Amino acid sequence: MSYYFAIIGTQDNPLFEYEFGTSKQGGDGQARFPDDAHHLNQFVLHSSLDIVEEVQWTNGQLYLKVIDKFFTNYISCFMTAGNVKFLLLHQPTATAAAAAAATAGVSGVTPVANPSRNSTAVGANPTSPQTEEAIKNFFGEVYENYVKAIMSPFYKVNMGIRSPVFRQRVAAAGRKYL
């Protein structure tokens, strides 16, 4: 399981990005994306912003769950009050993804409606309630740190977040929940 996390500003501009892998089930926390996937991930993530714009006005929740899927890439979204988006691309390992895809059928870009619940491992099944909850906790912790970051008097809206402390905090949240 590998993750690619990005914070996107109100002008659809990236503010922060971070790649990491799962730390559960003996994972070493390293991202295992194919070499050519790094740039693809950015495209996949940003292409889901259109869906975010549709969903954000029908759902006032901060956590919008899985909003988009591109082959084996699932995208979860969290909207802050200030319309900054936290997007997490999660890519299950090949076997788990195949299982999930088989149950979901060819669902295209709409969120998977009725996920199989046979796997309890966080991340193995991207749409299981366990995974949803874990991602929610991850986003919640990042949001808290994000709010602290923007409280800086030197921070203006849509500025990149370059604080190493913030990066450490995101990494810690990733290790803790995903």
Partner 1 sequence: MSHLGPGKAVSSKEQTGLRYPSNGKTIYHRPLNRTKTAELSQSSFAYLFSEMVTYAQRRVTGIQELEKRLNLQGHPIGLKLLDLLLTREPPRSQTRPLTIIALLHFIKINLWTHLFGRQADRLEKSSNPDTPDEYMIIDNEPLVNAYISVPREMSQLNCAAFVAGMIEGVCDGAMFPARVTAHSVGGKEEGEMWPGKTVFLVKFQPEVLEREALIGKG
Interface contacts to partner 1, rule CB under 8 A: 10, 14, 16-20, 31, 42, 56-58, 60-62, 79-83, 143-152, 156-157, 160, 162-167, 169, 171
Q: How far is the CB of 28 from partner 1 (least distance, A)?
A: 15
Q: How far is the CB of 109 from partner 1 (least distance, A)?
A: 19
Residue 124 vs 178, nearer CB to partner 1: 178
Amino acid at 43: F
Residue 20 vs 70, nearer CB to partner 1: 20
Q: How far is the CB of 168 from partner 1 (least distance, A)?
A: 8
Residue 24 vs 167, nearer CB to partner 1: 167
Convert 128-154 to b/e letters by CB count within 10 Å (16 or more is b): beebbebbbebbebbbebbeebeeeee
Measured distance CA(14)–CA(29) in Å, rounded? 23
| Three-class DSSP labels, 66-105 | EEEEECCEEEEEEECCCCCEEEEEEECCHHHHHHHHHHHC
Q: How far is the CB of 111 from partner 1 (least distance, A)?
A: 18
